[in-house]
A and B are shown apart, each in its own frame.
Chain A
Amino acid sequence: MSNKIQLELSQVGIDFPTPKGPFTALKDVNLKIAEGEFISLIGHSGCGKSTVLNLVAGLYQSTTGGVILEGQEVNEPGPERAVVFQNHSLLPWLSAYKNVELAVKQTQKGRSKQEIKEWVEHNLELVHMSHAADKLPSEISGGMKQRVGIARALAMEPKVLLMDEPFGALDALTRAHLQDSVMEIHAKLGNTVIMITHDVDEAVLLSDRIVMMTNGPAATIGEILPIELERPRNRIALADDTSYNHYRHEVLKFLYEKQRKVESVEDHRKQRQKNQSDLSSGRLKTGTNQE
């Protein structure tokens, strides 16, 4: 990790249009990220973590402020900010290999056929998925799909890797495996990573800094916790480590004392669904198969 600032969020704020007027999801978010840094975003459900990630990805446009990557403002999505989505979002009609290949062909136009093949295989190898390269997404497990999703993102050679709860839908064992893979890859490639998580242990284990967000509306960064643990990190050795447990405690204190959630999770889900359906109700109303 160098000390050069690669990515900067400056006074970022966003309003979503809703039928009841604009809804301010984020306000005054300021963050500087150094090259090669591993950042975790943590916060209660609905506070705006995905929104931050989508802003960096260029999928959303900020209402105020802006995102600056290596001196240039981000205003559209692109492969230098590859995204690993929560639900893998592999193209279901393409094999694991083809999914990665599509990304390689699209983002690395200079490569020859042979080079493309080698690069796809290399990235599948990196996430330990070479054995299932020819399987369709429906034929592999959730953890394997997520691995392929990561391979696809890495294959774009992104400057910044964005991951939205990449392991949220996985069981604990699979998650641990993937966390180890991600640490290994990060050590090897040194990409800048921003990862959203709900898992305190995951955040402490993987991150260089944990960014903790306040509750919405008008959410912003509450505290930033630098994690100064030696790398490579070992989950078993760290379990009894005092500083590890101290960091854990800090995060938990932030989440459950300083930012205690008052509304229930159920209310939030409903509200979110409502917001989204309000927004998308302009789409075709025809429903499903007509006639």
Chain B
Amino acid sequence: MSRQAAITFMSAKTKLVNFSSVKASLASAILPVLGLLVFIGLWNMLAKNIDTSLGQFPGTSAVWEQAQVLHQEHQTQQQKAEAFYERQEKRNADRVAKDPSYQPKIREFTGAPTFFDQIWTSLYTVMVGFFMASLIAVPLGIVCGLSRSAYAAINPLIQLFKPVSPLAWLPLVTMVVSAVYVSDDPMFSKSFITSATTVALCCLWPTLINTAVGVSSIEQDLVNVSKVLRLNAIQHVLKIVLPSSIPSIFTGLRLSLGIGWMVLIAAEMLAQNPGLGKFVWDEFQNGSSESLARIMVAVLTIGIIGFILDRLMLQLQKWVSWDKSTAMR
């Protein structure tokens, strides 16, 4: 083979290699898009053939249109609020100028919450509920994992309450909150407390169980290291137990947050508490010709937010975890 030919042969070979790797990365980029396109196609095709009492089932264009309308509504509302505060400030300034002893009153703008307000409410609620649950579940899980007797004591409760749909708790939580949480100037609204508590009740279990399992399956050798070093109980938990069970704790936390988000929407629908669930329910009751499209916007939003929450947890897990392999999925 001549030198020239050898070189062309080699470059052809590298091209081939490059080509197959390009093909692989192309496939991984194109396939999800393809799946999405097929879904959208099917959706639009089926939508045309579904007639409901509220008109035809919305296709992509109707949903997109409503998404823009919702955004528009939000902006209008914001402008109104800004104008309101400006007027109030001006009025107060005038009053103070006339009478320096006057204590200006600041009143909140009270427009109907827009779609975006509802998103924030739901996000905030789910986060608070999730944190409340985690604050209880992680320490309790550690205790259960460390002590066989603690586990034996708590296990029946876990088994009993884990399968209970949190929606069954909802009426009880609502009544208890309205009975117990009485204050003249409440920092949080009752509906918020109810929703957050309901979320917390179902976020408890996956975190609790996964933490307990993670802690109880620490390698015996590492426990022995801790014994040889004579670490005391607190050091043992902080230096050995927590780091080695971080991966399973996070598995539990991710499951909890996912479930919490699903449950929150249902709870809001059922209890008429502010949030995305209420938005869906209100639109359903409203029954205008755009309702279905607006609900569809909400459904997609719920899905996207759920997905983002999970990714964030995954990112956090990768960040705090030493075992990079468990954080891959």
CA of A153 to CA of B222, assembled, Å: 14
Per-residue B-contact encoding for A87-100, CB less than 8 Å = 1, 0 else: 10101110000000
Per-residue A-contact encoding for B287-329, CB less than 8 Å = 1, 0 else: 0000000000000000000000000000000000011000000
Evaluate contact between B206 and A291: CB separation under 8 angstroms: yes
Chain B residues 210 to 239 lying within 8 A of chain A, measured CB to CB, are: 210, 212-213, 216-217, 219, 221-222, 224-225, 227-231, 235, 239
| Other-chain contact of B231, A83, A106, A283 (Cβ < 8 Å) | A106
Q: How far is the CB of B50 from chain A (nearest CB, A)?
A: 34
Evaluate contact between A286 and B222: CB separation under 8 angstroms: no
Cross-chain pair count, CB within 8 angstroms: 88
Q: A287 with B148: in contact, given A91-B240, A102-B229, A103-B229 (CB under 8 Å)?
A: no
The yes or no answer to A159 lying at the interface (CB within 8 A) is no
Across the interface, which residues of B come within 8 angstroms of A291, CB to CB?
205-206, 209-210, 255, 259
CA of A2 to CA of B243, assembled, Å: 43
Q: How far is the CB of B268 from chain A (nearest CB, A)?
A: 22
Across the interface, which residues of B come within 8 angstroms of A103, CB to CB?
229
- Chain A residue at minimum C-beta to C-beta distance from B322: A93
Evaluate contact between A85 and B213: CB separation under 8 angstroms: no
Across the interface, which residues of B come within 8 angstroms of A127, CB to CB?
none
Chain A residues 63 to 98 lying within 8 A of chain B, measured CB to CB, are: 76-79, 81-83, 85, 87, 89, 91-93
Q: A85 with B244: in contact, given A136-B322, A282-B148, A287-B213 (CB under 8 Å)?
A: no
The yes or no answer to B145 lying at the interface (CB within 8 A) is yes
CA of A239 to CA of B219, assembled, Å: 40
Across the interface, which residues of A come within 8 angstroms of B230, CB to CB?
77-79, 106-107
Evaluate contact between B244 and A93: CB separation under 8 angstroms: yes
Chain A residues 256 to 291 lying within 8 A of chain B, measured CB to CB, are: 282-284, 286-291
The yes or no answer to B251 lying at the interface (CB within 8 A) is yes
Evaluate contact between A91 and B228: CB separation under 8 angstroms: no
Chain B residues in the interface with A (C-beta under 8 A): 144-145, 148, 151, 205-206, 209-210, 212-213, 216-217, 219, 221-222, 224-225, 227-231, 235, 239-240, 243-244, 246, 248, 251-252, 255, 259, 322-323
**When A and B form their complex, which 4 residue pairs have the shortest distance between CB atoms, in order from nearest?**
A93-B322, A89-B221, A77-B227, A291-B206
Chain A residues in the interface with B (C-beta under 8 A): 57-59, 76-79, 81-83, 85, 87, 89, 91-93, 102-103, 106-107, 136, 156, 282-284, 286-291
